[in-house]
Amino acid sequence: MAAGSWFRYIIGILLSVDVVRVWLSGGQLQSTTIGLAVIFLLLALLYVVKRV
């Protein structure tokens, strides 16, 4: 259980840092790709959490 919350915590930090970094670099085409990537990662994260 503790490992699961650590995993979610680390993934959340990585996602936040990546989104902020791309947002600061600014790029209209990139923002759409990053949005899709974030949605995909969140769905994958939900799948992992439900399995635990």
Query: How many other CB atoms sit within 10 Å of the CB of residue 46?
Result: 10
The domain total for the chain is 1
- The residue segments making up the domain with residue 7 are 2-51
Q: What is the pLDDT of residue 42?
A: 84
**Which mean pLDDT values do the consecutive 10-residue runs of the chain (52 residues) have?**
72 78 66 76 83 71
Q: Which two tokens stand for residue 38?
A: 């974030």
Q: What is the pLDDT of residue 29?
A: 54
Say how far residue 40 (Cα) sits from the centre of its chain: 8
Q: What is the pLDDT of residue 30?
A: 61
